[in-house]
């Protein structure tokens, strides 16, 4: 892999809603929806949704850290999730919809831990930040119809983003932030 290219993996509930904020940012080369953290190879969406695989819905971001550093990815990530919810994200409940940061190396682990600590100390949330920071496992791309869902099905995506509670949560917790 090119020395100016790295990979980050984040679980933040429904992967449909996690792609758009990262996609088309400067320095972001590719964002894939997929599955990680579980115990079976090449899982299907139906298998992951069954809750028996141990996999999370996640996104894999290929990025140039000289343009969009990992620290900025972390900042943007926190602004897409409810990091205080152990049971899933918004409308989507269960293990496969839980949040997690999957680090690729010790540097990412350290930066993720620092970022989580800063968020907890910021007082932005009254409850503890429970998003785990875990070693990366194999990442399996989701089925093609899940990739860039917000572009393929914009009306359904926007409706889901709002009705799931995610859009309102983001607005109420981050409206004064510099990041989108």
> Which residue's structure tokens are 């290219």?
5
Q: Measured between alpha carbons, how far is residue 169 from residues 44, 70, 91, 130 in Å?
A: 29, 24, 12, 17
Q: Are 84 and 98 in contact (CB under 8 A)?
A: no
Q: Where in the sequence numbering do the catalytic residues fall? A: 14
Rounded CA Rg of the chain: 15
Instruction: Name the β-bridge partners of 141.
Output: 34
């Amino acid at each position: 892999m090119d020395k100016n290219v790295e990979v980050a993996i984040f679980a933040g509930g429904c992967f449909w809603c996690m792609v758009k904020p990262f996609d088309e940012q400067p320095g972001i080369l590719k964002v894939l929806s997929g599955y990680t953290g579980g115990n079976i190879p090449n899982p299907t969406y139906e298998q992951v949704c069954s809750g028996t695989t141990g996999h999370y819905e996640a996104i894999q971001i290929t990025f140039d850290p000289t343009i969009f550093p990992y620290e900025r990815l972390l900042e943007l990530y926190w602004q897409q999730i409810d990091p205080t919810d152990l049971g899933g994200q918004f409308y989507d409940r269960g293990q496969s919809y839980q949040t997690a940061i999957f680090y690729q190396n010790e540097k990412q682990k350290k930066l993720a831990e620092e970022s989580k600590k800063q968020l907890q100390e910021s007082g932005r949330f009254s409850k503890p930040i429970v998003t785990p920071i875990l070693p990366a496992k194999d990442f399996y791309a989701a089925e093609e119809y899940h990739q860039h869902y917000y572009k393929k099905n914009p009306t359904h995506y926007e409706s889901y983003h709002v009705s799931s509670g995610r859009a309102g949560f983001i607005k109420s917790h981050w409206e004064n932030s510099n990041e989108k």
